[in-house]
Amino acid sequence: MKTGSSRQRTLIRIGQKVLSLHALFSYLFLYLPIIILIIFSFNNSKSVFRWAGFTTHWYLDLFSDPRIMSALKNSLIVASASTIASTIFGTMVSIAMERYDFFGKLPFDALLYLPIVIPDITMAVMLLVFFVTIHMPLGLHTIIISHIAFNISFVSVTVRARLASLDPALEEAAQDLYANEWQTFWKVTFPLLLPGIIGGALMAFTLSLDDYVITFFTAGARSTTLPLRIYSMVKTGVKPDINALSSLMMMVSMALVVLSLLLQRKGGEGVTIQ
């Protein structure tokens, strides 16, 4: 018995070490390229593979490049507009799908997941054909419409998952205290939904800021966003300024994730019925 139990403990220790090594290599595989990217964005040399000292002038050059500033402005306009619209529509859709029954609900529910499961290239071609068919000139407005089209699904799925986890007894208690449907929604349901709404909005903003394929197909000749600008810069070779721009975009994404976690931690607190 002692031999069997000691052998079992040995196998458990070996398994733990193997899992620890597997986790370590997985993290290295995922994050080592990002760390190298950030390090070489401070490289005082145009060579990507030769370290020549520390400098920040690549970051300063980004803000003095009018083409990058124009692309940044376009990206922020597109991401902000599409996030606001998709968050509003996505939240409304999630409430309708979760709380109400109507004719054609099942097919509509299936169509709602379509932008998530189909390849980006397929949706990009469909949107391009749609704009050409209705004779709409391509530009920032077509990019915004396209981003709203696929972001609604992501926001709706996020908010709907939050809505499905809510305790119906809370809303019933509010109505027992003579709160009407409008008061129940704003005093009880909305504060509890807020973490999901914020998470969906931040996801929509990040996806819009990072999108390349759909933007490439639906952008006009003068509607360049940051992903399009980065791709055009990569064509001439990878340089430290590209590393700096990519690092900045990644830092913005990380800041959004941290903000989302902080806001979600506060979400749902202090729910009162007045």
Residue 261, φ and ψ in degrees, nearest 5: -65, -40
- Tens of pLDDT along the chain (274 residues) come to 455 567 777 777 887 888 888 888 888 888 888 888 788 778 777 766 677 777 777 888 888 888 888 888 999 999 999 999 999 999 999 888 888 888 878 888 888 888 888 888 999 999 999 999 999 999 999 999 999 999 999 899 888 888 887 777 777 777 767 777 787 788 888 888 888 888 889 889 988 988 889 999 998 777 888 888 888 877 776 677 778 888 888 888 778 777 766 765 655 444 444 4
Q: How far is CA 187 from CA 107, 223, 237, 264, in A?
A: 32, 42, 55, 17
Cα 182 to chain centroid distance, Å, stands at: 30
Which long-range contacts does 121-126 make (Cβ < 8 Å, 24+ apart)?
Answer: 121/213, 123/149, 123/150, 123/214, 124/213, 124/214, 124/216, 124/217, 124/218, 125/217
Instruction: Work out the angle at residue 135's Cα, subtended by the Cα atoms of residues 139 and 112, and round it to the nearest 5 degrees.
Output: 75
Residue 47: the pLDDT is: 67
Q: What per-residue confidence (pLDDT) applies to 215?
A: 93
CA atoms of 187 and 259, how far apart (whole Å): 23
Separation between Cα atoms, residue 94 and residue 212, nearest integer Å:
27
DSSP 8-state assignment for residue 115: H
CB contact at 8 A, 59 and 41: yes
* The predicted structure's pLDDT at residue 273: 45
The 8-class DSSP code of residue 272 comes to -
Find out whether 241 and 71 touch, Cβ atoms under 8 Å: no
Report d(CA 101, CA 146) in Å as an integer: 28
Nearest to 257 by CA among 157, 226, 265, 190: 265
Phi and psi at 61, nearest 5°, equal -65, -30
Which two three-digit tokens encode residue 75? 């990206």
What residues does each domain of the chain span? 1-40, 57-266
DSSP assignment, residue 146? H
Report the pLDDT value the prediction gives residue 4, as an integer from 0 to 100.
58
Q: What per-residue confidence (pLDDT) applies to 270?
A: 44
Residue among 219, 258, 207, 264 nearest 86 (CA): 207
Question: Which residue shows structure tokens 């993290």?
Answer: 27
Distance CA 169, CA 137 (A): 51
Would you identify the CATH topology of the domain 57-266? MetI-like fold (1.10.3720)
Give the end-to-end CA distance of the chain in Å, rounded to a whole number: 65
